[in-house]
């Protein structure tokens, strides 16, 4: 761990350790050290540059969810301490909605949702990040609908002209990390599976996935078997049938006491021109940021975790179609 604090025994220990220190240990000030001053943090909902913005967002989240815990399920990583390392961190978060904030007036409801975060680190600091929270799971547990939440958010952010713009190729900001992962065969295997699915070769699912595959998808959806996998991927692709599918980062690993696994960051960029999980086609330009994790076993892909932000997709659709309402009333 050259260049990193000696208290961390390896890179996964660093990622899990600083996450706990920042959130549960209330070490928010450590973000001045653990996050580079000019870090780029991309979430589907926005692009933030600089650790001051990250600190402000962290405090706002803790004000709304003061008992929030972040349980690190896995860190799939590539690179070296000398050249920089990229972690794909899978987190299960538990929290109680105890304060007013971006999700509205406090409800007292207890939440459970996943997060997937790709972070690049050098010299004990993270300087580039891609972060996806399961916003669909959060808002549903708060009794809201993702589309209605997105419409209300546009209004609360000042209307279509003033609201935060989701992360798209046009709003993205280049960061210091330009790597594409490693060449481990597990990553290549998973990349091939996802590419075939996105090319409508759904026959790959019964061939490549364990018959008892466990699937974990947006909205807190969890299921078993091939049908659930087929239904999820075809529902997404059917909504954006002409969109360009791109794989941006691929990691494969085979570590002691862990199953062989892979992490892939991908996107769909195009138009909402089909019937699928986002309703009637609108023709709206949409960018879907996705991260997927897979674990392999003797009978194929045995566990799959995929996240995208439903509310950020709805926000793009609503802004493009004018199906929004701001402080001055409906916009058409």
Q: What are the pLDDT digits (tens) for 173-213? A: 999 999 999 999 999 999 999 999 999 999 999 999 999 99
**Strand pairing partners for 262?**
252, 294
DSSP for 9-34, written as a single string: SSHHHHHHHHHHHHHTS--GGGHHHH
Farthest CA pair distance, the chain? 59
DSSP symbol at 167? P
Burial 186-200 (b: 16+ CB within 10 A, else e): bbebbbebbbbbbee
Q: How is residue 4 written in tokens?
A: 């990193």
What is the rounded distance in angstroms from the CA atom of residue 78 to the CA atom of residue 119?
Answer: 11
- Write down the pLDDT at residue 117: 98
Strand runs labelled E in 23-83: 35-43, 46-49, 69-80
What stretches in the chain show pLDDT beneath 50? Answer: 326-332
Cα distances (Å, whole numbers) of residue 137 to 53, 111, 125, 221 = 25, 8, 30, 8
317 within 8 A of 284, measured Cβ to Cβ: yes
What pLDDT is stored for residue 330 in this prediction? 42
Q: How far is CA 141 from the centre of its chain?
A: 18
Q: Which residue has the tokens 């609108």?
A: 282
pLDDT of 263-279, one tens digit each? 999 999 999 999 999 99
What pLDDT does residue 1 have?
A: 83
Buried b (16+ CB within 10 A) or exposed e, 144-166: bebbebbbbbbeeeebbeebbeb
Q: Give the angle subtended at the CA of 98 by the CAs of 30 and 21, to the nearest 5°.
A: 20
The number of beta carbons lying within 10 Å of the beta carbon of residue 203 is 11
Nearest one of 65, 70, 75 to 20, comparing CA atoms: 70
Q: pTM for the full model?
A: 0.96
Distant-in-sequence, close-in-space partners of 266: CB < 8 Å, separation ≥ 6? 194, 245, 246, 247, 248, 290, 291, 292
Q: How many CB atoms lie within 10 A of CB 273?
A: 16
């Amino acid at each position: 761990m050259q260049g990193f604090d000696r208290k961390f025994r390896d890179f996964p220990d660093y990622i899990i350790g600083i996450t706990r220190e920042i959130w549960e240990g209330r070490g928010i000030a450590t973000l001045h050290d653990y996050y580079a001053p000019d870090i780029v943090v991309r979430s589907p909902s926005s692009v933030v540059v600089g650790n001051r913005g990250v600190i402000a967002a962290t405090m706002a989240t803790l004000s709304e969810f003061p008992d929030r815990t972040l349980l690190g399920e896995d860190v799939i990583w590539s690179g070296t301490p000398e050249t920089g390392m990229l972690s794909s961190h899978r987190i299960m978060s538990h929290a109680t909605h105890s304060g007013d904030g971006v999700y509205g007036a406090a409800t007292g409801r207890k939440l459970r949702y996943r997060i997937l975060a790709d972070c690049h680190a050098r010299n004990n600091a993270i300087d580039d990040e891609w972060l996806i929270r399961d916003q669909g799971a959060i808002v549903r547990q708060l009794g809201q609908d993702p589309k209605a939440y997105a419409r209300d958010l546009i209004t609360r952010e000042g209307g279509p002209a003033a609201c935060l713009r989701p992360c798209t190729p046009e709003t993205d900001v280049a960061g210091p990390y330009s790597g594409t992962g490693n060449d481990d065969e597990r990553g290549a295997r998973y990349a091939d599976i996802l590419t075939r699915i996105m090319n409508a070769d759904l026959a790959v699912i019964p061939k490549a996935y364990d018959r008892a595959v466990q699937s974990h998808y947006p909205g807190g959806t969890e299921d078993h078997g091939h049908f659930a996998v087929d239904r999820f991927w075809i529902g997404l692709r059917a909504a954006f049938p002409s969109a360009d599918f791109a794989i941006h980062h691929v990691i494969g690993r085979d570590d002691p006491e862990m199953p062989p696994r892979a992490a892939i960051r991908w996107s769909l960029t195009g138009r909402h021109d089909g019937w699928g999980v986002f309703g009637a086609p609108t023709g709206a330009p949409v960018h879907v940021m996705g991260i997927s994790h897979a674990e392999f076993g003797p009978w194929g892909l045995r566990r799959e975790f995929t996240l995208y932000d439903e509310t950020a997709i709805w926000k793009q659709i609503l802004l493009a179609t004018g199906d929004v309402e701001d402080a001055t009333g409906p916009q058409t």
